[in-house]
Amino acid sequence: MKILPTAPQGLQGTLQVPGDKSISHRALMIGSISEGETQIENFLTGEDCLSTLQAFRDLGVQIELTGTQVTIHGVGLTGLKAANHPLDMGNSGTTTRLMMGLLAGQPFESHLTGDDSLQKRPMKRVAEPLSQFGGRIDLSRAGTLPATVIGQPLHATNYQLKVASAQVKSALILAALQADGPSTIKELLPTRDHTEIMLRQFGAEVETAADGLTITVQPQPKLRGQSVVVPSDISSAAFFLVAGAITPHSAIILTNVNLNPTRTGILQVLQKMQADLTITPKPSDGEPLGDLTIKTSDLAPIEIGAADIPAVIDELPLVALLAARAQGQSVIRGAEELRVKETDRIATVVSELRKLGVTVEELPDGMIIQGRPAWDIQDHQLDSYGDHRLGMMNAIAALTADEQLTLANEAAIRVSYPTFFADLDHLLGGQA
């Protein structure tokens, strides 16, 4: 149980949040299947990325981790070896789904398992499209982990995705690299394209058509090890952007944040809500990045729908929190994917906001939130329910409370942001 700090004097200062989770996973995976050495700087040492790192060690790849610096001795696309025990995916949906795509084309069998939350998450969304490539993945009867991936020669396929999911798309791209001809994967809506960008950097031919939705993958590339500098994670920076916007007397600068347009939905949300946000792009030859400055301001309500969701998918708990402090009614719709995240994030966000006295109506695909100028605390014990992003959302909400709140299951935060409370303390100027 953690006693959560409040911030009567606001938050001030400059912070570089840790490396991006999605990009750290991909750097490990693509570095492992490349030839030669890959160096990763500013790697995220959250538990999810450590699950990926351990899985590749178990598959015979030599990987060194020192601080946030990783060296991978890549084995090439055909050099992985069967693990002699089940691969533990921990809490990580990204590890699980992307690994399924990669392992589907390997000449051995792999067993995948994970924690209680991960064992509830849907995996048919990956197994079914992979079967179109000739892949064989046996799931539990509920369509979940544990899974057995029975590696097979894969066939080139044209596939239309049925969910807007970068994890499913990336799994299919990693499978297509091992197929017997060029494959085409078509998305429903544009989702994060870190896999495509990084594969190109490592020498693969992965093309995205002008529609931004159709990806063509040429098979059997020779991938060459690279140096990757991971930009800071906008999904982690987002907690402090929202903290700065809603906590009186705040002014925060967040540096070197990844500004890939498939990820910046939270910036558009803040702008539409009239937050005092300044975006300063910086030159970069890979993923776009920049500095973000946020100051406290009054907030207008917002309405967002299905087309807006992919670029803000992991930040929706924070959008709900912003809405809870805006002047008026906000609506989030088209976000049914939230129900299959680390927790059912519609149910858990509604539960936590109600503890703060917020009037919120739960919808099958979102919520309607009545903003209020201050909390009216109904229950002092907030809970992460084992979901890292819920834990951090609660900690940000507590900054503006005038009573002491606690957080149960705070350890979940280590999944994506092990230094979260230290970084918060830095912005509090050691007031906590």
Least Å distance, CB 79 to ligand S3P, is: 24
Please, which residue, 94 or 384, has the CB nearer to ligand S3P? 94
Nearest distance from C-beta of residue 113 to ligand S3P, angstroms: 19
Residue 251, Cα to own-chain centre: how many angstroms? 26
173 touches ligand S3P (CB under 6 A):
no
21 is in an annotated binding site: yes
Q: Count the residues in the chain.
A: 432
160 annotated among ligand-binding-site residues: no
- Looking at 20, 314, 383, 423, which residue is catalytic? 314
Pick 32 or 165: Cβ nearer ligand S3P: 165
402 a known binding residue? Answer: no
Q: Is 389 assigned a ligand-binding role in the annotation?
A: yes
Contact criterion met (CB below 8 Å) for 365 and 334: yes
Binding mask 325-364 for ligand S3P (x = CB under 6 A): ------------x---------------------------
Kindly tell me which residue out of 2, 192, 345, 355 binds ligand S3P, with binding defined by CB under 6 A: 192
- Are 98 and 173 contacting, i.e. CB atoms less than 8 angstroms apart? no
* Residue 123 in the binding site for ligand S3P (CB under 6 A): no
Report whether 314 belongs to an annotated binding site.
Answer: yes
For position 88 contacting ligand S3P by CB under 6 A, the verdict is no
Measured from the CB atom, the residue of 53 and 405 that comes closer to ligand S3P is: 53
Token match 């179109």: residue? 132
Q: Which two tokens stand for residue 314?
A: 């992991």
Sign of CA dihedral 38, 90, 66, 62: negative
Q: Is residue 94 at the binding interface for ligand S3P, with CB under 6 A as the rule? A: yes
| Residue closer to ligand S3P (CB basis): 46 or 244 | 46
- Nearest distance in Å: CB 169, ligand S3P: 7
Binders of ligand S3P among residues 237 to 296 (CB under 6 A) are: none
Neighbouring C-beta atoms of residue 227, cutoff 10 Å: 11
Q: Does residue 22 interact with ligand S3P by CB under 6 A?
A: yes
Residue 286's beta-bridge partner residues?
none
Close Cβ partners of 220 (under 8 Å, ≥ 6 residues apart) = 77, 177, 178
For residue 411, CA distances in Å to 6, 227, 286, 385, 399 come to 19, 32, 33, 10, 19
User: Whose CA is closest to 191, among 309, 95, 310?
Assistant: 310
- 3-state SS assignment for residue 353: helix
- Residues in the interface with ligand S3P (CB under 6 A) total 10
Least Å from the CB of residue 126 to ligand S3P: 10
Asked whether the beta carbons of 357 and 88 are under 8 A apart, the reply is: no
If one asks whether residue 51 binds ligand S3P (CB under 6 A), the answer comes out as: no
By CB atoms closer than 10 A (0-12, 13-18, 19+), residue 162 is exposed
Query: Is residue 389 within the footprint of ligand S3P (CB under 6 A)?
Result: no
Residues 132-171, mask of contacts with ligand S3P (x by CB under 6 A): ---------------------------------xxx--x-
- The nearer residue to ligand S3P, 355 or 388, going by C-beta atoms, is 388
The distance of closest approach from Cβ of residue 383 to ligand S3P in the complex, given in angstroms and rounded to an integer, is 20
Beta-carbon-side half-sphere exposure of residue 403 (alpha carbons within 13 Å): 13
Confirm whether residue 93 is marked as ligand binding.
Answer: yes
How far is CA 354 from its chain centroid?
25
Q: Is 26 annotated as a binding residue?
A: yes
Least distance between ligand S3P and beta carbon 357 (Å) = 29
The span from the CA of 363 to the CA of 432, in Å, is 36
Structure token digits, residue 51 = 């699950």
Is 314 among the catalytic positions? yes
* Residue 10 or 31 having the CB closest to ligand S3P: 31
Q: Which residues lie across from 279 on neighbouring strands?
A: 292
Among 313, 335, 367, 428, binds ligand S3P (CB under 6 A): 313
**Is the Cβ of residue 94 or residue 106 nearer to ligand S3P in the bound state?**
94
Close Cβ partners of 302 (under 8 Å, ≥ 6 residues apart):
269, 272, 273, 319, 322, 323, 326, 330, 331
Find all residues with CB under 8 Å of 84, minimum gap 6, and list them: none
Quote the strand ranges of 106-176, DSSP E. 109-113, 136-138, 147-150, 158-160
Show the binding pattern over residues 212-231: x = contacts ligand S3P (CB under 6 A), - = does not.
Answer: --------------------
Known binding-site positions for 3-phosphoshikimate: 21-22, 26, 165, 167, 314, 341
Residues that bind ligand S3P (CB under 6 A): 22, 94, 165-167, 170, 192, 313-314, 337
The residues carrying an active-site annotation are 314
